[in-house]
Amino acid sequence: MKSLSVIELSKLYNINRQTIYNNINRGILSKNSDNKIDLSEAIRVFGEPIKKGNVKEDVKIDKIESAEVLLLRQQVDMLKNQLDDAKGRESFYQNQIETMQRLLEAPKDKVTSFTEQKNNQDIAVESNFKESIQEEELSNLENKKRSFFSSFFSKK
């Protein structure tokens, strides 16, 4: 049979430890060589333990709690995996952003910006326009120097 300590026996039967020690000293209850009391000896003296029904209820509660604990642990593991995946995606996207920034910064020195290109085009158009105006003015001056009939008979 199972051997119980004085504390375990007092909890099982809901009696004081002093009562158990008094029964041992009177010889009503006996101890083993390892200072524990055999359960059969306790049943002989005190009868069946009162807490049998309570013990089963505690076991049921423990089973329910252990099922909940198992479920919660699975959820924690799943969340940890999701967190690891998210960290992996974040580092991948961070690397992609850095790569794109490097690619965008590299040719920036060689290529002029849009506003600079527009200014350069405006300058080129203005210079072409000025040249065409100057050519027209020169041709008008030449036409003015000619006589009335020479404008009809000249070769152009």
Mean pLDDT computed over 29-41? 88
Question: Position 133: which residue type?
Answer: I
Mean pLDDT computed over 68-88? 95
Mean pLDDT computed over 102-121? 65
Q: Is residue 153 part of a domain?
A: no
The fraction of the chain above a pLDDT of 90, given in percent, is: 33
Our CA angle for 115, 120, 126, nearest 5°, is 125
Q: Are residues 88 and 68 in the same domain?
A: yes
Q: Is residue 13 part of a domain?
A: yes
Q: Is residue 75 part of a domain?
A: yes
**What is the model's pTM?**
0.33
Q: Is residue 141 part of a domain?
A: yes
Q: Are residues 45 and 59 in the same domain?
A: no
The dihedral through the CA atoms of 43, 48, 51, 55 has a sign that is positive
Q: Identify the domain containing residue 80 by its residue range.
A: 54-106
- pLDDT exceeds 60 at position 112: no
Q: Is residue 151 part of a domain?
A: no
Q: Is residue 28 part of a domain?
A: yes
**pLDDT band per the 50, 70, 90 thresholds, residue 124:** low
Give the number of domains in the chain.
3
Dihedrals φ, ψ of 14, to 5°? 55, 50
Helix axes 6-13, 39-46, angle to 10 degrees: 40
Q: Are residues 102 and 58 in the same domain?
A: yes
